[in-house]
Amino acid sequence: MSRPFWRTTLLPVFLVLLALNLGVLLAWTLPRSLRQKSAAERAVVARAELARERERADALRERAAAIRANRADLERFYTTLAGSEKQDLLKALTAIEELARAGGLQPASRTLRRDDVDKAPLERVAVTLPLEGSYAELVGFLRGVERSPRFLTVDRVSLRADAESGGALQVELSTYMRQSPQARNARRRGR
């Protein structure tokens, strides 16, 4: 039996052309699809990196805003709250004693301790003040210190109950004074 012409001649030619066509198709499309897949992966990585960089930039913006706010607060502290020694130290000490007397307390002799504040043009003046009076008067004094327009901090408080006078309070307050670099150097040399 003889095979038909299409089967003996055309079918092998068709199969060779089909294989050749598939080979060309693969040779043409495979590198492109690999490049597209690689580009898509790079795009995903780039988007993730962009998101991280945006987060970092936002964090840096927030930090810069906090630094600006801190600088403004520090400038406000130096200009409005920290007094100068020549103009404000005696007034601050007098105000502390007036706060004590206004509440009915009897302040005893005060002691002062002066310390330079590291890395700042400030001097901390610690005032230790023994007070005697009732508990209500002592609490009233502390409330007055809290409401004072002067920048005063209560650093330490010790209370001793006394049946006769009500109580004795030893309070250490601090106020801060601006200090020029020349005054600071002169004080250090004088120590």
Domain ranges for the chain:
1-81, 82-190
Whole-structure pTM value: 0.57
* Proportion of the chain in helix, strand, coil states, percent, rounded to 5: 60, 25, 15
Quick: pLDDT tens for 87-133. Answer: 788 888 888 888 888 878 878 888 888 888 888 888 888 999 888 87
Rounded CA separation 126/154 (Å): 9
Q: What pLDDT sits at residue 158?
A: 85
The pLDDT score that the predictor gives to residue 20 is 92
Q: Which residue has the tokens 């039996």?
A: 1
Give the model's confidence band at 66: pLDDT under 50 very low, under 70 low, under 90 confident, else very high: very high
CATH of segment(s) 82-190: 3.30.70.60
Tens digits of residue pLDDT in 181-191: 666 666 666 65
DSSP, res 104? T
Encode pLDDT of 132-183 as tens digits: 877 788 888 888 888 888 888 889 888 777 666 566 778 899 888 887 666 6
Residue identified by tokens 């700042």 is: 120
In this prediction, residues 36-54 reach a mean pLDDT of 89
